[in-house]
Structure 1
Amino acid sequence: MYMERGSMDEPISLSVYGTTDFKNLNMRQRLAFCAAMAGHNIFITGGGGVGKSHLIAALERHMRGIVLTAPTGVAAVNIKGQTLDRFMGFNTEYKTVHQVRKMRRDVRDRLEKLQVLLIDEVGTARCDKLDLVDARLKAAKKSKEPFGGVQVIFVGDFCQLKPVLNTKTEDGKLFQHDYGNRIYAFESESWQAANIQPHVLNEYFRQDDEMQRKILRFLRLGREIPKAVHFINQLAKGDVRDDALILCTTNSRADDINEDRYQTLSGQERIYRCIIDGHFTTRPAAEVIKLKPGARVMLLSNNPEKGYSNGDMGDVVKLSPSIVTVMLDRGYSVDVEQKEWEEFEYVAGEKGIEKEVSATFVQFPIRLAYAITIHKCQGLTLDSAIVDLTGGSFAEGQTYVALSRVRSFNNLKLAKKLSPRDVKFSPLAVDFTEYASNAAIARTGEDLEQFPQAA
């Protein structure tokens, strides 16, 4: 059921407040939901495990005309949306705001009808990308308003993994020439002009232990790092199994571990090949999966009927052409069948923007899981893990992302003792995050007066 949005500060249809979706949100999720429905430009932030993805799904179900995008293909598939570049009609080359004002007819047609643009994982979007979105929407809408008058909803955490920039490439050099030391989306001129209202989600669903949440906040915000590191080194000696998932800093390290462990298995190997229909731009699972009985695996999708969730770990016990039987660490076996992932595109329709399936990818939602990179585990919730920072962490937010994946430090093991040097963070991202969070909390009373149903 879609709800009509209110214009700024107008009342919202009361029927949305009676839905199960709305009732299942906590107060801060409800405040963000109401602000979005009222037409505000908003930024929804919070650490890992606070329910950002859950809120996005609720917004899509109830907001007419909303388009879901994300900077990467994996993030877009996770929210059943489209990559930001593909929706906006951008290619991978570096462009200036002047160059993107001209666009293909089909791109202009859909942007003319765009009402609400949501960008998830905005923390990984560079500032130039937001300025390009702003310039193209202004051109398509023939409007000088920020983002051409389109309502924008940004979701993400700037204290997790930051935007990628290779300064050795020609595009990287052009970017530095135009933007200097700026890189984050909130440093863009378009963000500054759009009167973005921050909303913070601070009720954690992943970790129950208050001390663990406090330590993770220290890591995320760069506070009392020696104290936090000492606490983690004392507690993260979990009694995890030897083949628990290892979180690594590099692809090469993860690949080597997976290959070495897999080669020790002696059972009959079975090979599963994917089926792709259309131009599927990302790979939610491997195109070719090789499995043997006893292989350690991770499941890559949610299937409540079958009894497994994205991130579940287990061991392969039986292989057939159509089913992979996995004994989960939870203590029961599940029959995993092939999954069809869909990629979407948004097209101009008679009544506005319409969402269509553009491509499908069919494969078993399984991957070898002796090891995985920290980048690939962002967004996952794990029952146990081994964190391997061999060589040290090299990216800001990387250590926080790794340590915040597990439900409890009691089920976490460190391959080597953590050092304060392993905890890298961006003071700029921390300052902005604290500013946004404090502003959202200080505005709570005012927001509840405007949206009393959120209480």
Structure 2
Amino acid sequence: MFVTGFAGAGKSTAIKVAQKFCYEFCKAASIMWNDNTYLFTAYTGSAAAAFGGQTTVAATYLNKKTISDDDRKVFQGVRTLIIDEVSFLKDSELRKLDNNLQKIGDNRKPFGGYNIIFAGDFQQNEPVKMKDKEKLWHPSSTRHFENNINCCIILDGLHRFRDDERYGRILQKLCRGELEQADVDTINERFVGKNGLSLPRVLKGDSCYACNKNSQRNAITSAIFREHLQATHPDAGSDADPPRHTIIIKGFIQSTKKKIDRALRKRIIELGDSDMKQGTKLISPHLCCYNGAYFMCNSNAGLKQHGT
């Protein structure tokens, strides 16, 4: 089954409701239910964490060469497998998923005979740098995805836009290719820099900055750190000692004509501000740490246990 719909149509909510229905049905029919009966996975870690599930790669062993008996035991009792954010899944990964599930379940049936609900939106931004033949919907793929779908549900509601139905309708028309100039004019009413509209100088509540360049992001973090220094540190000409709650770690950046190990080179590229191999990296030469500073570290480990 494939469940789709534009952003805000209620795909995630529909999956939650379906899970609740299955649980109540099993309870009424005295059918065993455990954490894996309705196994939720998502291709991205953030989506998996939102449901307390696992990433699709980890849950279906896409990163393993062999499947052990312990791996097979995990699937005991699984009746329905959910794969959210399916638009990020590669064609080669889908075929390996099919192969892995056949090794775990019935090797005579597609995907081991498990009921699978694919959920996602192929109208969203395409995966970065994915080749056409790897995109599930592309004509140059193996068509393994569409050849195994026996049911498609297209949600057309405004679940997320109950308080702003006008904007939701505009998004619907955009997805259908029916956007009109009047809709564009409506959106542009809120264009920053026009009609006297400007951003607040101080962000309150859960507001946050959105930057399309690393240089903008670095400028904002530097300005925030400067405000921290002005509020908590003595002036430059003062004899007072600086507080102990702030530390600046300076990076050692240099060029070399010597060849470096390929693994080290890959690590340097991927740990910078950008994992692109062209253009300006704009790596910040300092790491500024202080009480209350915000840091982000992505990890897909422990999603099922901790939900983060």
TM-superposed CA distance for 1:157, in Å, is: 1.7
Question: How far apart are the structure 1 equivalents of 2:15 and 2:219?
Answer: 36
CA RMSD, 1 decimal: 3.6
Q: 2:223 aligns with which of 260, 279, 302?
A: 260
User: For residues 342 and 289 of structure 1, do their structure 2 counterparts lie closer, same or farther at Cα, with a shift above 3 Å needed?
Assistant: farther
Alignment-derived partner of residue 183 in structure 1: 135
Query: 1:46 is aligned with what amino acid?
Result: G
| Aligned pairs (5 A) from 1:36-115 | 42-63=1-22, 64=33, 65-91=37-63, 102-111=66-75, 113-115=77-79
Report the 3-state secondary structure (helix = DSSP H, G, I; strand = E; otherwise coil) of the residue aligned with 2:161. coil
Report the 3-state secondary structure (helix = DSSP H, G, I; strand = E; otherwise coil) of the residue aligned with 2:147. helix
Alignment-derived partner of residue 139 in structure 1: 103
Give aligned-pair identity as a percent: 25
The C-alpha deviation readout for 1:185-212, integer Å capped at 9, x for no partner, is 6864144223132231412333534432
Query: 2:303 is aligned with what amino acid?
Result: E
TM-superposed CA distance for 1:84, in Å, is: 0.7
| Aligned pairs (5 A) from 1:190-205 | 190-205=145-160
Query: 1:214 is aligned with what amino acid?
Result: R
Asked if the contact 1:45–1:201 (Cα under 8 Å) also holds between the matched residues in 2, the reply is no
The C-alpha deviation readout for 1:258-314, integer Å capped at 9, x for no partner, is 33234223334968xxxxxxxxxxxxxxxx98455xx9x8xxxxxxxxxxxxxxxxx
User: For residues 193 and 211 of structure 1, do their structure 2 counterparts lie closer, same or farther at Cα, with a shift above 3 Å needed?
Assistant: same
Asked if the contact 2:61–2:100 (Cα under 8 Å) also holds between the matched residues in 1, the reply is no
The C-alpha deviation readout for 1:172-197, integer Å capped at 9, x for no partner, is xxxx5xxx535136864144223132
Alignment-derived partner of residue 90 in structure 2: 126
Which protein is richer in strand relative to its size? Answer: 1
The C-alpha deviation readout for 1:195-237, integer Å capped at 9, x for no partner, is 1322314123335344322322344444437654443223435
Report the 3-state secondary structure (helix = DSSP H, G, I; strand = E; otherwise coil) of the residue aligned with 2:303. strand
Query: 2:223 is aligned with what amino acid?
Result: D
Unaligned runs of 5+ in 1: 1-41, 93-99, 167-175, 272-287, 298-340, 345-356, 362-455
- More contact order relative to length (CA 8 Å, sep ≥ 6): 2
Question: How far apart are the structure 2 equivalents of 1:79 and 1:360?
Answer: 7
User: For residues 239 and 62 of structure 1, do their structure 2 counterparts lie closer, same or farther at Cα, with a shift above 3 Å needed?
Assistant: same
Report the number of matched residues. Answer: 226
User: For residues 257 and 222 of structure 1, do their structure 2 counterparts lie closer, same or farther at Cα, with a shift above 3 Å needed?
Assistant: farther
Higher-Rg member (1/2):
2
Alignment-derived partner of residue 169 in structure 2: 214
Asked if the contact 1:123–1:161 (Cα under 8 Å) also holds between the matched residues in 2, the reply is no
Report the 3-state secondary structure (helix = DSSP H, G, I; strand = E; otherwise coil) of the residue aligned with 2:133. coil
Alignment-derived partner of residue 248 in structure 1: 211
TM-score by length of 1: 0.42
Does residue 233 of structure 1 match 2:188? yes
TM-score by length of 2: 0.60
Report the 3-state secondary structure (helix = DSSP H, G, I; strand = E; otherwise coil) of the residue aligned with 2:39. strand
TM-superposed CA distance for 1:73, in Å, is: 1.7
The C-alpha deviation readout for 1:368-394, integer Å capped at 9, x for no partner, is xxxxxxxxxxxxxxxxxxxxxxxxxxx
Question: How far apart are the structure 2 equivalents of 1:226 and 1:254?
Answer: 33
